[in-house]
Chain A
Amino acid sequence: MEGLVTQIQGLSGTASDVLSLQNLLKQADDSLHAESTRLPPFLDQLDPSKHSLGYLYFLEACTAGPVTQEQASSFVLTIARFISSCVAEQIRLAPDKFISVCKRFKDQVLLLEEPLRGVAPMLTAIRKLQLSSEHLTALHPEFLLLCLLSKCYKTALSILDEDIFEVDQPRDLFLYCYYGGMISIGQKQFRKALELLHNVVTAPMSTVNAIAVEAFKKYILVSLIHHGQFPTNLPKYASSGAQRNLKTLCQPYVELASSYSNGKIADLETYVEANKDKFESDNNLGLVKQAVSSMYKRNIQRLTQTYLTLSLQDIANRVQLNSPKEAEMHVLQMIKDGEIYATINQKDGMVRFLEDPEQYKTCEMIERIGSSIQRLMTVSKKLNVMDELMSCDPLYLAKAGRERQRFDFDDFDNVPPRYNI
């Protein structure tokens, strides 16, 4: 053991040294695991900021076995300190070990029932493990889970704002999008939630998994809240398994959506009452209630298209509210949220609907449009690059060559009929 420690201390200088160190450590891994109980004192001899790789191996072996309550809090401290001080390049040499250490860290934090302690370290861990900001690691969903449990949504949003293009494991993506959707719902950013949930539901999957089913349920509800409608069919690029099975697995929600589209609030409310238990068991009752109240909003918005002024009594009648006072409250809330533009005249009990005052003439608007264009050009370029890469891929060319007779001659003139690697 001591020999190993000295070697670590010696070989953590340059990059080539570190590589040879890694080989040594790999060979010694089993012996480390065998003596896991003896390892903690050795950890003090190593410095996490200089000897990150060695420290990592030792740490991983230490935490491999079952952990008691007292040990848990000390481990949490050690790991947190390690994460904040380790060197990114060294730990990237052994990503699996790092990921398993962080996962155990999360488990222990949850064991102690203090998820908040885990949020900041996990965020640092992600930053250090990521190869680029577009890379999704296995730690992302763990991080989001901690944020959800500790209710610090804002921190999560900073991670969610980044676009993801590279994925290691599909399962990570599903969990990431699902938790991300839930966080966005919590922050009332329904557009982002819809996007994330849409990604889960339409991701390529050979068999439908439970995450997709839960995500689909929330997807229906958020779609009703945000758009006021739910497209009955998944887009064509969703996997065939999803298209066939998701709807049957989420039957009560699909019926809720069709009841919503009929436009009668009373029917919708009776349906919700009847199926309350199912919604509650899925923890979706809050969302369902939001969906129901969004229907009132949708109806009032439709009125703005046909009327210039309307009495509160008429609004209450048309939208099936109980009294003009309720109508006034709804309209007031909508004006505050910026969903409609109107003025309420309390003396006459009239509401006057106004046009959207945005004239699209300000500097901010021009900047917004400009930055939009820039962003779209970047995304387009990315798409082109990917297309080029794909066209050179040997697998693709082999398949195109084989299937040439199915397609138009012009498309594949350059591909020889039998392309062998």
Chain B
Amino acid sequence: MDGEEDASNLMMEANSTGGVDEAPLSSTTTRRNRPIISGEPLDIEAYAGLYTGRTKINRLIFIASHCDNPAMELEALRMASDEIKKGENTQLYREVVQKIEGRLGPNYEMDTAWCSMIELKAEQRKEKLESELNSYRTNLIKESIRMGYNDFGDFYYAHGALGDAFKSYVRTRDYCTTSKHIIQMCLSAILVSIEMVQFSNVSSYVSKAEQTPEALDPPTTAKLCCAAGLAHLEAKKYKLAARKFLEVGLELGNSYSEVIVPQDVATYGGLCALASFDRTELKATILSLLSPAPPLFSIHNKVIDNINFRDFLELVPEVRELINDFYSSHYASCLEYLGNLKPNLILDIHLYDHVETLYDQIRNKALIQYTLPFVSVDMRMMADAFKTSVAGLEKELEALITDNQIQARIDSHNKILYARHADQRNATFQRVLQTGNEFDRDVRAMLLRANLLKHDCNLKASRKV
């Protein structure tokens, strides 16, 4: 095993190109505060070191299947397989080994012995759990039944039978006696739902948990906020997701590392806020935290300790810089940071299919914000500021104008954008005349139809008589 570790160390040195110290694998404490999500190519060791449990494996597999670099892919698969072997999920192990296809040497081939041993143990344990549960059920002791179902849930979860795990956890609901039990059940259900990517369940269990405030200690509240934020993100409700992420307190620490870590909270929260908040909200919730002065006014009373978000943003300084640049209208550098972050963000399991949308929204907001204060804008200068060509800029602006997000007209001959304020008076007159005509036409048609119906009725009446 030692030789293997050295080999993996060597491999790590050869592969990692990030600006991260080559510290030994075990000390993850120093790693926690290093910028992981940065512009440089992802350092898988460090990234995976942040997480624990199933999400680590899932993220590694995701990176392996989505990255272009075969060395990176192999590294991720190797780490995934190591991690799986520590657990009991034979199904996942088989999948990973198949993906490796023997490229990592004999140690990473299918270890059928290990598989059968695990499965045997699993069968035995399952029988034991079942008999225990049955005995508890006959005894009708609530607490033991609850723990029995919980154990079942844990067992299924460890073996990858997520649906069964979820059902078992939900069954404990009937036997919960204290609010602590309810919280525990909710958290387990949330964990499994996130893994199954069923975020509707996540939202419902989060609200269920929030309804028992007595047992909620700060770390749990933080966990629930994160879960709710993830649910909103998945549902593409970026504004709500941003607000949830901003509410997460520092107490989160690493207590939820089987789902999410503070760097993720900062990144998701920062990007969603940038894409969906307007300027005042952005300033009040995020930017005021970056300066030592306390916020002059906070729009949302929900954002209680938003000082905390500053500490979160410290973990991802690029996101912090990018938000600052956006607010102070340095669009070129803002967009540059975004571009740098993109390759790594695409490898993130929760964010990857939202990256395009968020980026488009941020870019559109930048364009709109740029043109807002001016009566006329020289498109060449604007193209420089946004680092595109004039033709490309013209297309983007045309799309925004047609969408009615910018009130302006393009002078294509001189390449100038002129602000245009619709003449309200003329528009009103036009609308009035049009409404009058429509009313006239509709009423006349109605009277005609009524007449026809009356005729029909008369016919029917006369036929009856």
Residues of A within 8 A of B (CB): 163-168, 170, 173, 195, 198-199, 202-204, 237, 302, 305-311, 314, 348, 350, 353, 355-356, 358-360, 365, 368-369, 372-373, 375-376, 379-380, 382-383, 386, 390, 395
Q: A305-B401, A369-B433 are in contact. Are A170 and B452 (CB under 8 A)?
A: yes
Query: B95 on the interface (CB 8 Å rule)?
Result: no
- Bound together, the chains give a CA A167 to CA B452 distance in angstroms of 7
- Bound together, the chains give a CA A383 to CA B444 distance in angstroms of 9
A203 touching B449 by the CB < 8 A rule?
yes
- Bound together, the chains give a CA A355 to CA B414 distance in angstroms of 19
Query: B13 on the interface (CB 8 Å rule)?
Result: no
Q: A306-B401, A380-B443 are in contact. Are A372 and B448 (CB under 8 A)?
A: no
A165 touching B451 by the CB < 8 A rule?
yes
Given A167-B455, A348-B413, 4 extra CB contacts under 8 A: A165-B451, A202-B445, A306-B409, A358-B426
Contacts of B411 in A (CB 8 A): 307-309
Contacts of B447 in A (CB 8 A): 165, 379, 382-383, 386
- Bound together, the chains give a CA A137 to CA B409 distance in angstroms of 54
Considering only residues 417-453 of chain B, those with a C-beta below 8 Å from chain A are: 418, 423, 425-426, 429, 432-433, 436-437, 439-441, 443-453
A195 touching B445 by the CB < 8 A rule?
yes
Query: B104 on the interface (CB 8 Å rule)?
Result: no
- Bound together, the chains give a CA A164 to CA B437 distance in angstroms of 17
> Closest CB-CB distance, A204 to chain B, in whole Å?
5
Considering only residues 398-422 of chain B, those with a C-beta below 8 Å from chain A are: 398, 401-402, 409-414, 418
Query: B293 on the interface (CB 8 Å rule)?
Result: no
Contacts of A368 in B (CB 8 A): 433
Contacts of A307 in B (CB 8 A): 398, 409-412
- Bound together, the chains give a CA A174 to CA B257 distance in angstroms of 74
Contacts of A369 in B (CB 8 A): 432-433
- Bound together, the chains give a CA A382 to CA B402 distance in angstroms of 42
Question: A202 is contacted by which of B401, B449, B453 (Cβ under 8 Å)?
Answer: B449
Ranked 3 nearest A-B pairs via Cβ: A360-B429, A309-B413, A308-B411
Closest chain A residue to B418 by CB distance? A308
Q: A306-B409, A310-B412 are in contact. Are A375 and B440 (CB under 8 A)?
A: yes
Closest chain A residue to B437 by CB distance? A372
Contacts of A195 in B (CB 8 A): 441, 445
Contacts of A170 in B (CB 8 A): 452, 455-456
B448 touching A379 by the CB < 8 A rule?
no
Chain B, interface SS category: helix
Contacts of A308 in B (CB 8 A): 409-412, 418
**Selected A-B contacts with CB under 8 Å, 14 pairs:** A173-B448, A204-B449, A237-B449, A306-B402, A306-B409, A310-B413, A311-B412, A348-B413, A353-B409, A355-B423, A365-B429, A368-B433, A369-B433, A379-B444
A306 touching B398 by the CB < 8 A rule?
yes
- Bound together, the chains give a CA A59 to CA B78 distance in angstroms of 106
> Closest CB-CB distance, A75 to chain B, in whole Å?
33
B461 touching A395 by the CB < 8 A rule?
yes
- Bound together, the chains give a CA A204 to CA B460 distance in angstroms of 14
Question: B440 is contacted by which of A306, A311, A379, A395 (Cβ under 8 Å)?
Answer: A379
- Bound together, the chains give a CA A355 to CA B441 distance in angstroms of 28
Q: A311-B412, A314-B412 are in contact. Are A379 and B452 (CB under 8 A)?
A: no
A359 touching B426 by the CB < 8 A rule?
yes
B449 touching A167 by the CB < 8 A rule?
no
Beta-carbon contacts of B388-404 to A below 8 Å, as 1s and 0s? 00000000001001100
Query: B457 on the interface (CB 8 Å rule)?
Result: yes
Question: B426 is contacted by which of A199, A348, A356 (Cβ under 8 Å)?
Answer: A356
B457 touching A395 by the CB < 8 A rule?
yes
> Closest CB-CB distance, A219 to chain B, in whole Å?
13
Number of interface residues of B (CB under 8 A): 36
> Closest CB-CB distance, A351 to chain B, in whole Å?
9
Contacts of B426 in A (CB 8 A): 356, 358-360
- Bound together, the chains give a CA A261 to CA B69 distance in angstroms of 44
Contacts of B429 in A (CB 8 A): 360, 365
Q: A308-B409, A360-B425 are in contact. Are A376 and B440 (CB under 8 A)?
A: yes
Contacts of B410 in A (CB 8 A): 306-308
A305 touching B402 by the CB < 8 A rule?
yes
A311 touching B413 by the CB < 8 A rule?
yes
Contacts of A163 in B (CB 8 A): 444
Contacts of A314 in B (CB 8 A): 412
Q: A305-B401, A360-B426 are in contact. Are A379 and B456 (CB under 8 A)?
A: no
B440 touching A350 by the CB < 8 A rule?
no
Q: A306-B409, A307-B410 are in contact. Are A204 and B446 (CB under 8 A)?
A: no
Closest chain A residue to B432 by CB distance? A369
- Bound together, the chains give a CA A122 to CA B413 distance in angstroms of 59
B452 touching A204 by the CB < 8 A rule?
yes
A173 touching B452 by the CB < 8 A rule?
yes
> Closest CB-CB distance, B419 to chain A, in whole Å?
11
> Closest CB-CB distance, A39 to chain B, in whole Å?
35
> Closest CB-CB distance, A390 to chain B, in whole Å?
8
- Bound together, the chains give a CA A356 to CA B452 distance in angstroms of 42
Contacts of B414 in A (CB 8 A): 309
> Closest CB-CB distance, B252 to chain A, in whole Å?
47
Closest chain B residue to A195 by CB distance? B441
Closest chain A residue to B409 by CB distance? A308
Contacts of A376 in B (CB 8 A): 436, 439-440
- Bound together, the chains give a CA A296 to CA B461 distance in angstroms of 53
A164 touching B413 by the CB < 8 A rule?
no
B448 touching A383 by the CB < 8 A rule?
no
> Closest CB-CB distance, B422 to chain A, in whole Å?
10
> Interface centre among A348, A350, A372, by most B CB within 10 Å?
A372
Question: B413 is contacted by which of A202, A350, A395 (Cβ under 8 Å)?
Answer: A350
Contacts of A348 in B (CB 8 A): 413
Q: A308-B410, A348-B413 are in contact. Are A167 and B436 (CB under 8 A)?
A: no
- Bound together, the chains give a CA A29 to CA B314 distance in angstroms of 107
> Interface centre among B412, B439, B456, by most A CB within 10 Å?
B412
Closest chain A residue to B429 by CB distance? A360
Closest chain A residue to B399 by CB distance? A306
A302 touching B412 by the CB < 8 A rule?
no
Contacts of B449 in A (CB 8 A): 199, 202-204, 237
Question: B412 is contacted by which of A202, A309, A359 (Cβ under 8 Å)?
Answer: A309
- Bound together, the chains give a CA A386 to CA B449 distance in angstroms of 12
